Structure 1
Amino acid sequence: MIKRLTFADEKERKSETKPGESIDKLFIHMATAVAKVGKSVHRIFVGNLPWTVGHQELRGYFKEFGRVVNANVIFDKKTGCSKGYGFVSFNSLQALEKIENEQKHILEGNYLNIHKS
């Protein structure tokens, strides 16, 4: 979210901008840079995870397909138990293609449900 700064904020941050550049332009530039970075990350949903699988096990399984940027299993806040699904992010589209080309994904005896997200 881009916040529009007040005159007092702009006066305080003047030293962070180049001469002649407004704060609004600086924030637009930063938001664009973040958006460009976000496009290079490819994410999948992984369902039917065994309750024994954590973040490291999920990462370990998918690292054979490509560089894993993030692997996250979703846990119930009250019980601390796995909800049986998670998300894995890769930095390349080739990793997703390798995953799609493999017919079955089995982790600790469970067939995984995988979808692009």
Structure 2
Amino acid sequence: MNIFVSNINYATKDYQLQELFEEFGQVSSAKIITDRETGRSKGFGFVEMGDAEGQQAVDALNQKEFNGKTLNVTEARPREEKPRRSFDNNRGGGYGGGDRGGNRGGGNRW
């Protein structure tokens, strides 16, 4: 079971999240999501564990105080696919593509 945990104290480390969930069974992984540029916690994460133990953990830990914050713990939903952006120059967007002109390399603006 993949578990979504939000409202995590920014100072909480991965191992602390793992230890919290290990009270309910074996944890395959526990990861707090961090900002790519700064490395700082975004205040949410994911825990992976067996279905039965995972459900027990969700039931017990949702709305529980941990490191000074009240956790929100739910089963994670599958990630939705986002449509890919097209950068096709024949579509008119961007710099000088298509027939829109623009002020960088495309068409005359008289």
Same fold (TM over 0.5): yes
Paired letter, 2:8: L
The answer to whether 1:101 aligns with 2:63 is: no
Q: Which residue of 2 aligns with 1:80?
A: 39
RMSD value, Cα: 1.3
Quick one: which of 40, 43, 46 aligns to 2:5?
Answer: 46
Deviation at 1:101, TM superposition (A): 3.1
Bigger helix share? 1
Quick one: which of 60, 65, 71 aligns to 1:112?
Answer: 71
Q: Name structure 2 gaps, 5 residues minimum.
A: 77-110
Structure-2 separation of matches of 1:112 and 1:104: 5
Deviation at 1:111, TM superposition (A): 0.7
Structure-2 separation of matches of 1:100 and 1:54: 19
Deviation at 1:57, TM superposition (A): 0.8
> In percent, how many aligned pairs have the same letter?
32
Q: Which has the larger radius of gyration?
A: 2
Deviation at 1:95, TM superposition (A): 1.1
Q: Name structure 1 gaps, 5 residues minimum.
A: 1-41
Q: Which residue of 2 aligns with 1:19?
A: none
TM-score (norm 2): 0.63
**How many aligned residue pairs are there?**
75
Q: Which residue of 2 aligns with 1:68?
A: 27
TM-score (norm 1): 0.59
